[in-house]
Structure 1
Amino acid sequence: MLSTQLQRRFLLSSLRGDLRKVRCYATKKRFYTRTDIVQNENKWEVILDHRKLKTPNGQVFNVDTEGLARAVAAEWDAQQDIIAQPTMHLTALCNTALDNPGKLTKHDIAIHLLEYFSTDTILFFSDEEKELQLLQEEKWGPLLDWFEKRFGVRQEVSKDLQPPPVSTETRAVLARHFLSYDFPALNAMNFGVEALKSPILMLACVDKFIQAKEAVMLARLEEEYQLQRWGRVPWAHELNQVELTARVAASLLIIQNSTELHLEKIKKSHQIEHS
């Protein structure tokens, strides 16, 4: 019998695998000419010609807001002769939130993110190259200062291969923060964290302290440093940067959508109470 912790890790692995599966789908020709959206009660659906878009498990694809529905429809509308599903991050994130193939809970994802935290990219400074270490201090230092002030915690960094300690207080603060999001937003948070290899960078993006493109550059700081010294393969690194930025941007759109919806519900609740 697997322990609870191992079960959670297995489930998170399944979730990540589901998001990666979109990269393995056989390409297929575009089979529709028009994309549109339609409201069905309090949900919004995406229409391809006159057929409703469905998830991999056969559910009718639906989201909570018109804005997100339009963004997903635009993703499908942007496809050319061939449907490039590996680039359709919004669709993949929404599908995973709807189907939940790993049967995960918010707590499962929050635990995974907490375990991920001690391996955060920007907590590991170079102990071999002084020039790189100075660059990391210059670029990552402000992010770490922001993180400590934003969450009221102290966080050490590592200058060797050993993960830095993460206090019980820091874990508790982050756990409460992660669990304040709904499942689709937390699922998207996890996707963005894995793209950046950094919960701190993703949290900074969510708080609009930095933009997605800047977060990707900070996540790739050591790689960019080495490329400047040894040269780069034309186009390859730029394409990778664009791909990572697209993943983070899709994650942020889902999170922003969920946050705005939550605030709207609170506002309506207050209006009813005072009416």
Structure 2
Amino acid sequence: MSGWTVIRFWKAVTVAQEEGGYAVLLDARSVRTPSKAPLLMPSRAMAEAVAAEWAAVEDKVDPRLMPITRRVNAAIDKVAVQFDEVAQLVADYGGSDLLCYRAEAPEALVAAQAEAWDPLLDWAAEAYGTRLKVTRGVAPVAQPTEALARLADEVRATTQFQLTALYDLVGLSGSLILGLAATRAEFDAESLWAFSRIDEDWQAGQWGEDEEASANAALKRMDFLQAHHFWELSSASPE
């Protein structure tokens, strides 16, 4: 089934290993993507997570309640067919990385950014053998060509499923370094998300919470954590 306008008709949801990966079956019918491609996944863990989403459907399929299925669809229908373009979009964040643009004042905010962001830039320098430059204010800073090239190589080394997750991790946080850190087991996804929100949280602390902004931030946080989970599924062993 391709699926997004489907009313539930199935009784059983199962996972089956097929040629090329793992599939989800609704009774005996294989789930397909919106573009009618086979919904084949690289690991049983991912397929079981997708199966759980389909099993939870009560009446009509709602993509908003199926974040893993939605990302699998994107990986197959979109990322796989334009991998180089997507990888470049992600890698380009290195040239304007959030962590490299610091406040000029007040000093308390400057200190908060440094405390959270400097260790991440230190980690990236050690992990990738090159360091991004930091500036204060919004004036663009030219990053070393070698640094950007090494970070781009890291992005291109992903699979189509991993890149789908990384696209969201980087886009939501505004930082290639934060996104890459989220793919490493030594970092906590919740903490990384909080690091991406230092400026917004500071402003809220000074001027008060905006209800609409807070609601949007909560949705983005959930999306970031779901993308992190999808990365973990994308990197799981096949069995």
Fold agreement, TM-score > 0.5 = yes
Alpha-carbon distance, 1:176 to partner: 2.1
CA contact (8 A) 1:212 1:245 kept: no
Alpha-carbon distance, 1:130 to partner: 2.4
Alignment match, 2:232: 256
Alpha-carbon distance, 1:177 to partner: 1.5
Q: Structure 1: 5+ residue runs without aligned partners?
A: 1-24, 265-275
Alignment match, 2:73: 95
In structure 2, give the amino acid aligned to 1:75: E
Q: 3-state SS of the aligned residue for 2:135? A: coil
Alpha-carbon distance, 1:254 to partner: 3.8
In structure 2, give the amino acid aligned to 1:256: E
CA contact (8 A) 2:30 2:38 kept: yes
Q: Say if 2:149 is the partner of 1:159.
A: no
Match of 2:184 among 189, 207, 213: 207
Match of 1:225 among 195, 202, 208: 202
Q: Quick one: structure 1 residues 156 and 76, their matched pair in 2 at CA, closer, same or farther if it must change by over 3 Å? A: same
Alpha-carbon distance, 1:233 to partner: 4.5
How does the TM-score come out when normalised to structure 1? 0.74
Identity of aligned residues (%): 27
Alpha-carbon distance, 1:241 to partner: 4.4
Alignment match, 2:47: 69
Q: 3-state SS of the aligned residue for 1:232? A: coil
Separation of aligned partners in 1, 2:31 and 2:138: 46
Q: 3-state SS of the aligned residue for 2:103? A: coil
Q: 3-state SS of the aligned residue for 2:81? A: coil
Separation of aligned partners in 1, 2:9 and 2:196: 38
In structure 2, give the amino acid aligned to 1:205: A
Q: Quick one: structure 1 residues 236 and 159, their matched pair in 2 at CA, closer, same or farther if it must change by over 3 Å? A: closer
Alpha-carbon distance, 1:209 to partner: 3.3
CA contact (8 A) 1:89 1:250 kept: yes
Match of 1:246 among 199, 207, 222: 222
Residues 179-205 of structure 1: CA deviation (Å, up to 9, x unaligned): 221222123211221121111111111
Q: Quick one: structure 1 residues 156 and 261, their matched pair in 2 at CA, closer, same or farther if it must change by over 3 Å? A: same
Alignment match, 1:126: 103
Match of 1:189 among 166, 170, 181: 166
5 Å-filtered alignment, 1:171-186, equals 171-186=148-163
Alignment match, 2:89: 112
Matched residues, number = 236
Separation of aligned partners in 1, 2:193 and 2:233: 22
Residues 125-151 of structure 1: CA deviation (Å, up to 9, x unaligned): 112432211211122222122111221
Alpha-carbon distance, 1:32 to partner: 4.2
Q: Quick one: structure 1 residues 61 and 221, their matched pair in 2 at CA, closer, same or farther if it must change by over 3 Å? A: same
Q: 3-state SS of the aligned residue for 1:59? A: coil
CA contact (8 A) 1:118 1:165 kept: yes
CA contact (8 A) 2:11 2:26 kept: yes
Q: Quick one: structure 1 residues 29 and 213, their matched pair in 2 at CA, closer, same or farther if it must change by over 3 Å? A: farther
Q: Which of 136-145 and 108-117 deviates more? A: 108-117
CA contact (8 A) 2:95 2:148 kept: no
Alpha-carbon distance, 1:29 to partner: 5.5
Alpha-carbon distance, 1:64 to partner: 1.8
Alpha-carbon distance, 1:235 to partner: 8.8
Alignment match, 2:114: 137
Q: Quick one: structure 1 residues 46 and 161, their matched pair in 2 at CA, closer, same or farther if it must change by over 3 Å? A: same
How does the TM-score come out when normalised to structure 2? 0.84
In structure 2, give the amino acid aligned to 1:248: F
In structure 2, give the amino acid aligned to 1:252: H
Alpha-carbon distance, 1:30 to partner: 4.7
